[in-house]
Structure formats: structure tokens, C-alpha cells
Amino acid sequence: MQTLEPTARGAALSPPRALGAPPARALLRGAPEDFVVEEDLGFAPAGSGPHWLLRVRKRNANTQWVAGQLARIAGCRPREVGYAGLKDRRAIAVQWFSVPQSRAPVAWSAVREADFEVLEAHPHTRKLPRGALAGNRFTVRLGAPQGGGARLAADLEARLADIARRGVPNYFGPQRFGLDGANLARASEGLRRLGPRERGFVLSAARSALFNAVLAARVGEGSWEHLEPGDLAILDGRGSFFPVDRAADETLSDRCRRLEIHPTGPMWGKGTPATGARVLELESRLAAQYPQLTGLCVAAGMSQERRSLRLAVRELAFEPEADGVLVGFHLARGGFATAVLRELIEAAADSDVA
């Protein structure tokens, strides 16, 4: 069996920071309650239709397991349950699911189980598709050693202001690659040896590692937050992008400084990225370093797509507590809280960072 390119794991799991060494060390996720994520759908339930839209609170449970439990209660197949995205297991997560209406009525608002409960239930017109949300709100408790919450807040204040002003590199988090990079390691097996469910996870890991490698290179050269000739720029929180044919003028540069537009990196697929000049040269050179990963994406028939290199961190606030600091922020869909936290703190040895 072939081995994975030796630097792919490093690009995926330990890419370089952009804002310098973190100003403090803190405990991350000492308990599930220390990491709370709540989906922002961006739309209201329809109020009628053949599906139920369920707002569910889960604790220390993964999204797919909860979906299976909801299917059991609804009397439907697990694949008929919809959800916008996977949420962290070791956390408190409030997310939306859809289930088809069953012949026998279900009192959804009364559903309470050990690891999850249904908070709201609304009739809706269709199954909830992947990616159908505006973003996620996070509330993270950072534990301070020896009860030094006020000291930790003081140490973090300047870095938090920097993150609010500049954003952070939009790296895929380690959970994208499986436990200790296990999904990425399986990219060397090829598509034929992977089952349908495994195939999706491995392809996602391969594409994400290539993106992280390109972003890491641009962090290294300082261009991750600036528009370069040949870039494809994306509007913040949107899917539309446009080419930067020459050096960005003052208006474009100013919009980039205000986090309204960002440079993008490749989500690899067949063909060549639509970038140009030095940007295309960089992306092509890095793709050539990872032939197993690019070959897997091409063999699966995936198309070239783009993802923002920078992640704007909105509604950023913090509050000192006796034994830590509570940090809250909102990220657009697809953004990983780990991308923010790795620029803010060095996780203590007993943290759960997966």
C-alpha cells in the first residue's frame, strides 16, 4: 500500500498561525458545557408542509447518532432525516433537523432523552439540506489556571481585538480529518477500497488538506488577508466571487481591510483553478506536491470550487469569570471555531481539541 505524502498530515493538522504565538495558555473543553454552538438557520420555518423542522439540543452526542434516534422515533429511514451540518460531539450543540411527518402523530416537543431533547417543532416544506444555514454562534469557556480569570482576560484582550479587526485564516479544523488524521491517512487506499460512507469522509479530508496547504503557504508569505493579481475574490458570507485581474485599487483594498471581501483558495477537482498569474502558479505547484490527494478528487469527478482564505469573526465578545474567560462569536457557515481558538490560546495539555 502506498503511504500518504509525508507533509499532507502536517498541512492538515498543524498549519502555521498568522497572528503570532498565542498570548496565553488555557484549558479548552474541560467539560461539554465549556463549548456551546448554536446554529443560525437564516430563515424561518415555513409553518406548513410534509416535514417537521426540529430544533434539538444535544450533549456529548454526535449529529449522525442523534439523526438515527430521530429516525427511530419518526418511524422513517435515517437517510430521510435532514441536517445542515455535523456538530462537535464533546459540546453542547443546538442544531436543526428535519424529519418527514409520520402517519402516527409524534409529540415532538415532549421528546427528552439522556443525550438530547427537542426544543421546538415546526411544520416545514422540505427536507433540510446540507449547508442550509447562515452560520453558527459559539460560546466557549477558556479555563484559567489557579482561578486567574481576570489575568487571562487581560492577557487575551489585545489578541481578541486583533482577531475582530483582521479575522483569522479559514483553516479546516482537525475534526475534518478524523481522529488523529485517520480519514486523511486512508486517502492512499483509493476510491475502490472505500465504502460509500467512508468515501465521503476521505474525499472531504483530501480536499480540505489541499486547501489548508495552500492557505498555509499564503499565511507564510503574508498574503492570506490581501488580494493578489490573479486571485478570485469572494464576498463575505456569500458564494459569489470575481477575478482580481491586476493590483487591487484603493476601493477594493479598503473593502478587503473591512472584511467585506476575501481572497480564496481551491477546493480541488478536475481541471485547473480559474485563478491566474502567481496565484495559479502557487496553487498548481502545491497541488503537484500531493498527487494522491489531487488524484482522488479528480477520480471522484469533483469540480474545482473555491473557499475563502480568511474567516471574519463577528460579534466577538469576552467576559472574565473567577476561573476563566467566556468568549462568544459568530462565524459564517463552514467556519471552524478551532481556527479562531488556535490564534487566541495555546491549549493546555489536558484540553480536548478534537
Cα–Cα distance measured from residue 148 to residue 60, given in angstroms and rounded to the nearest whole number: 27
CA distance 119 to 121: 7
Residue 45: name the closest of 123, 145, 126 by CA.
123
Alpha helices in 167-226 (DSSP H): 182-185, 196-221
Integer Cα distance of 345 and 327 in angstroms: 12
Q: Is 88 a catalytic residue?
A: yes
Question: Quick one: how far is CA 302 from the chain centroid?
Answer: 20
Selection from 213, 304, 311, 322 nearest residue 267 by Cα = 304
**Catalytic residue (choose from 34, 40, 88, 236):** 88
> In this structure, what is the dihedral angle of CA atoms 135, 179, 68, 171, given to the nearest 10 degrees?
10
Query: Which positions are annotated as active-site residues?
Result: 88
